[in-house]
Chain A
Amino acid sequence: MIKSTADIFSDFKGTEDDLIPVLQKVQENFGYLSQKSMMDVGRFLRIPTSKVWATATFYTQFRLKPIGEKHIMLCRGTACHVKGAPRILDEIELKLGITEGETSSDGKYSLESVACIGACGLAPCILINEDVKGRLTPKLVNKLFEDKERRDQDVE
């Protein structure tokens, strides 16, 4: 459910150390941090927008652009790397036609990477929204994103 920024702020005391938790809540609600919402946050916490922006861009969790319906996060941790994550990335990029950091033009998929999902025993793995998909092979990736191909064909 989308709340307004004012609704979100009502849960906080409004001091500077609320900055990261507030940004997290805003992103949770809107999916990303828009310029307007960052200005609202600055006003609420009485700090310059530049500082809000500086903090938001420092942390990988924060996104300044909207993401796709399915948010794919590829693990680039060590365990996944040695078990073939680069190959999985190639495969996903091929399959979805987007590269790391992009969102597909139909707004269905976004592809990002994350330092480690913490499911290293299942390496290589990815997160799709909150679900971990582990023990991936190029073949499994193909299966996971089959629908995408079918849809594209329908459009053609």
Chain B
Amino acid sequence: MKIRRGGIRMSNKTCLICQGTGCVSAGSREIHASLEKEIEQLGLSKDVKVKRTGCHGFCEQGPLVVVEPEGLFYAGVKVDDVPDIARSLSPQGEPLEEKPLYHDSATGNPITHYHDISFYNKQQRTVLQNCGNIDPEEIGDYLATGGYQSLRKALFEMSPGQIVDEVKRSGLRGLGGAGFPTWIKWEACQRAPGDEKYVICNADEGDPGAFQDRSILEGDPHSVLKGMIIAGYAIGARKGYVYVRAEYPLAIKRLEIAIDQARKKGFIGKSILDSNFSFDIEIFQGAGAFVCGEETALLASIEGKRGMPRPRPPFPAQSGLWGKPTLISNVKTYANIRWIVNKGADWFAGIGTEGCKGTAIFSLTGKIANSGIVEVPMGITLREIIYGIGGGIPGGKPFKAVQTGGPSGGCLPAELLDTPVDFDSLKAAGSMMGSGGMVVVDEDTCIVDLARYFVDFATKESCGECAPCRLGTNQMLDILNDIVEGKGEMEDIDILESLGMGIKKGSLCGLGQTAPNPVLTTLKYFREEYEEHIIEKKCRAKVCKDLIHFIIMPDRCTGCHICTKVCPVNAISGDPKQIHEIDQELCIKCGLCFEKCPPKFGAIEKNYGSKVMED
């Protein structure tokens, strides 16, 4: 019996082995090689196909192996598990019952099928549909899913004006962070005079803590390329660039392969599909600067300059790359185009909320039971994502905050967990959608330290062009450093607030205009933690080194000498079998002794208060 799934003609069984960055680092290449070998040895090669795919999204559980058509899901697969998996694939084989099945994070029960896992079954995977199901290095796989059909439809059945109109009616808003209506840019570029125009895909993914754009490029590069080609046809451009950060070597490699294969098939290049439309795509590797995600800085960077933003207007749609009209959109924005062209604007507008259509894609990370890439319709609540899909905080710890929008966004507290996830609601709460990072933190994270972390990031990444951003963020960092070191004063809070507002108003580009957000939102929702640091000199999460100390409890210390050996500064004294003691003056609070003291003794405690106060 042959089974058809998503249009791909399969042998009896197909093993999909994730080859995304996460799974590769967990050893999925070895799993692939050994599974192929086992299957061959068992003489199953004819009936079982082994396929390498892009990211399944559940990176934390890697390496992942999915067996279709049943939808069996194996997680954390080890090379030792491979013979069992291979045998289970024979005609008489039964699905495995224990290892390496995925175990539910809440109940601990094994789950056999992909579709029964709450991480997946509460998602709406549209843009991510192919990720994990096709071999991204084989254009044939993509074509079998109906790929490039929308290109044919766009080129031969629609005029450029009709395409822009379709994008307009779909309600698609840019997924790079700000949620600007996509059609406005398309129309502006289309109407702009001249025949030298550019299409640029922003794959700089600067938000530290986000990797969804990378997963799409690694798992389904053609869907992005196709969106760009259709955009090129609609606005009348002949050249496109994908701006990818150099830190993503695998994404770059897969894009190169995809462009090459698409060119051979006649989807990219001269006279695409024998029409009179020609379009070429080139990859530009970003050299590592967060500000280059900002569109005008990105343009400067492609032109070979320092990535410094410039004032807008003129907008890139009017004067972009080399002064020509340029359309810049995010990876996910382009990946949505094929759905709008294929299924129509009405279908697309049926997903999401009144003001925000379609799906949102997040990288769910931090202190969360199920971390990975999730795609949900716009408008579902933070709670549904964090608890429904993410399985909540590991170990049943209380939730403290969720950070979205990266260095431009904010931290929202438990009271706001029912906020709908869309551009407007998150903005109203003081945060923002951003390009897709969603970092969950529990009580072990210090909110002041987290805010300090983001401001530190902004000072390092500020390009230095405008003073409010360059100097202002450094001022904020100095104040925050004082607070986490226990040297803060109450008036610092007011200064942070007024400084933050000033930087937002006075900065040239989005980096400075949003850099104070992490501080301002935490001051709004977690003010008491700042006050504790300042007044009581207390860090409730016991993170800030200057506000904690370590002490050896004499009644529990057995004098085993483990801590004295690990202490890097020789601050612990005591003869063998004698009670040890930490010299608070020498201690650098690295916490090694605390971690190394055997749990059966548990003799070292981490306490509030600096060493000075302890004296």
Contact = CB atoms under 8 A, between A and B. Distances in A.
* A and B physically associate: yes
Interface of A: 16-21, 23-24, 54-55, 58-62, 75-83, 87, 90, 94, 114-123, 125, 130-134, 138
Name the 7 nearest CB pairs between A and B, nearest first: A77-B208, A121-B59, A78-B209, A59-B287, A132-B25, A19-B304, A116-B208
Most buried by A among B60, B208, B591: B208
Contacts of B62: 122
Interface stretch (B125-133, B225-233, B363-371): B363-371
Interface in B286-320: 287-290, 301-307
A20 B329 CA distance: 22
24 contacts: A17-B302, A20-B285, A20-B304, A55-B304, A58-B289, A62-B287, A75-B208, A77-B209, A78-B403, A78-B454, A79-B371, A79-B439, A80-B209, A81-B453, A90-B590, A94-B568, A118-B205, A119-B59, A120-B211, A121-B372, A122-B26, A132-B24, A138-B592, A138-B595
Interface string B88-100: 0000000000000
Contacts of A23: 287
A83 B60 contact: no
Contacts of B86: none
Residue of A21, A62, A81, A138 with most partner-chain B CB within 10 A: A81
Contacts of A132: 21-22, 24-25
A137 to B, nearest CB: 9
Contacts of B214: 118
B249 A82 contact: no
B296 to A, nearest CB: 15
Interface in B578-615: 590-592, 595
B457 to A, nearest CB: 8
B484 to A, nearest CB: 12
A78 B246 contact: no
A120 B285 contact: no
Q: Which of B214, B304, B372 is most buried by chain A, counting CB atoms within 10 A of its CB?
A: B304
Contacts of B246: 24, 61
Given A117-B247, A138-B592, 11 more contacts: A20-B284, A78-B403, A79-B437, A82-B366, A83-B366, A94-B568, A94-B590, A116-B247, A121-B60, A121-B365, A133-B25
B406 interface: yes
Interface in B191-216: 205-211, 214
A83 to B, nearest CB: 7
Contacts of A60: 287-289
Contact of B445 (A16, A82, A119, A120): A82
B248 interface: yes
B367 A82 contact: yes
A119 B62 CA distance: 12
Contacts of A118: 21, 205, 211, 214, 247-248
Nearest to B365: A79
A130 B290 CA distance: 21
Contacts of B406: 78
Among B209, B366, B372, B439, residue most surrounded by chain A Cβ atoms (within 10 Å): B209
B303 A55 contact: no
Given A55-B306, A115-B208, A20 B287 contact: yes
Contacts of B158: none
B568 A121 contact: no
Interface in B12-66: 21-22, 24-26, 58-60, 62
Interface in B356-380: 363, 365-367, 371-373
Contacts of A87: 590-591
B301 A20 contact: yes
B591 A115 contact: no
B450 interface: yes
A121 B62 CA distance: 10
A100 to B, nearest CB: 12
A30 to B, nearest CB: 16
Interface string B504-543: 0000000000000000000000000000000000000000
Nearest to B302: A17
A21 B246 CA distance: 11
Contacts of A75: 208
A77 B290 CA distance: 12
A130 B247 CA distance: 9
A44 to B, nearest CB: 13
Interface in B407-450: 437, 439, 441, 445, 450
A116 B595 contact: no
A119 B211 contact: yes
A19 B463 CA distance: 19
Which of A23, A82, A90, A131 has the most chain B CB atoms closer than 10 A to its own CB? A82
B208 to A, nearest CB: 3
Of listed B25, B26, B403, residue having the most chain A CB within 10 A: B25
A147 to B, nearest CB: 19
Given A16-B303, A79-B366, A119 B289 contact: no
A17 B305 CA distance: 8
B441 A134 contact: no
Contacts of A83: 366-367
A105 B31 CA distance: 38
A78 B302 contact: no
A130 B253 CA distance: 13
A48 B40 CA distance: 60
B289 A116 contact: no
A120 B209 contact: yes
Nearest to B518: A78
B207 A116 contact: yes
B41 to A, nearest CB: 29
B161 to A, nearest CB: 32
A125 B211 CA distance: 14
Given A61-B287, A62-B287, A82-B367, A116 B305 contact: no
